[in-house]
With several copies, the nearest count.
Chain A
């Protein structure tokens, strides 16, 4: 029973890794709050976008998370 977190760009450096497996929690806010506070703060920065299982979500979507879901944290892109 776990969630796969993916950290892109500079968030990888903050997280210390590009991927992290965490226990399932029902919502994204709870997941973020369970992490190291400095990482949590970086993930909550206003321009960080979220994708759940490859679909971009708005804060208001508040998807219910389940085992095996992948949550990607996407800082502003730096372009191709």
Chain B
């Protein structure tokens, strides 16, 4: 599988990005697009440890489901669009709720059942903010992110079309 990112002129992938530095108006966002496996629980541990002022940390781990006959899943990204859009999402989440930090980590490339795909975490003084922020971020990642997905079943790859459910989810946020 080729990576189109090679042709891009924007930010390199797999690097740690702090929205604060680029956007100038938001703090404590950590947004990463990874092309190799990661350990969500370790990310959550260090994220929570770094937010001792937060009473609550809500996290979502999305992993490749086992048992639907899916042998592998591939997410394709387009470097000039995918990471910048994730960074924008982190900024809008920060603006919408009172948060101490937002973490968004997303895989690209080929994954097998059990592999983590995505991790979103939100740290807040009050848990209501953290729950809503993580929920909102996931809905938007699922429906609006620049990722193209295909699944391997019975040795054959099939591209996945957008799910109507994803649009319903995002409509909840008005």
Decide if A and B touch, CB cutoff 8 A.
Answer: yes
Q: Which residues of A contact B (CB under 8 A)?
A: 4, 6, 8-10, 12-13, 18-19, 51, 53-56, 70, 72, 74-80
Interface size class of B (residues with CB under 8 A): 20 to 34
| With A8-B148, A19-B4, A54-B9: A77-B80 Cβ-Cβ less than 8 Å | no
Bound-state Cα–Cα, A19 to B80, Å = 15
| CB–CB B2/A18 < 8 A | yes
CB within 8 Å: A-B pair count: 79
| Secondary structure type dominating chain B contacts | mixed
| CB–CB A79/B149 < 8 A | yes
Interface stretch (choices B20-28, B128-136, B137-145): B137-145
Residue from the list B2, B78, B143, B144 in contact with A51, Cβ < 8 A: B78
- Interface membership of B122, Cβ < 8 A: no
Interface stretch (choices B45-53, B93-101, B159-167): B159-167
Residues of A within 8 A of B32 (CB): none
Q: Which residues of B contact A (CB under 8 A)?
A: 2, 4, 7-10, 62, 75-76, 78-81, 106, 117-118, 141-150, 159-163, 166
Residues of B within 8 A of A4 (CB): 7
Whole-angstrom distance from the CB of B78 to the nearest CB of chain A? Answer: 6
| CB–CB A79/B145 < 8 A | yes
Bound-state Cα–Cα, A6 to B118, Å = 25
| CB–CB B81/A54 < 8 A | yes
| CB–CB B4/A18 < 8 A | yes
Residue from the list B10, B142, B144, B161 in contact with A54, Cβ < 8 A: B10
Whole-angstrom distance from the CB of B85 to the nearest CB of chain A? Answer: 10
Given contacts A8-B4, A8-B78, A78-B162, 6 further A-B contacts (CB under 8 A): A9-B159, A72-B4, A74-B146, A77-B145, A78-B161, A80-B117
Bound-state Cα–Cα, A58 to B4, Å = 22
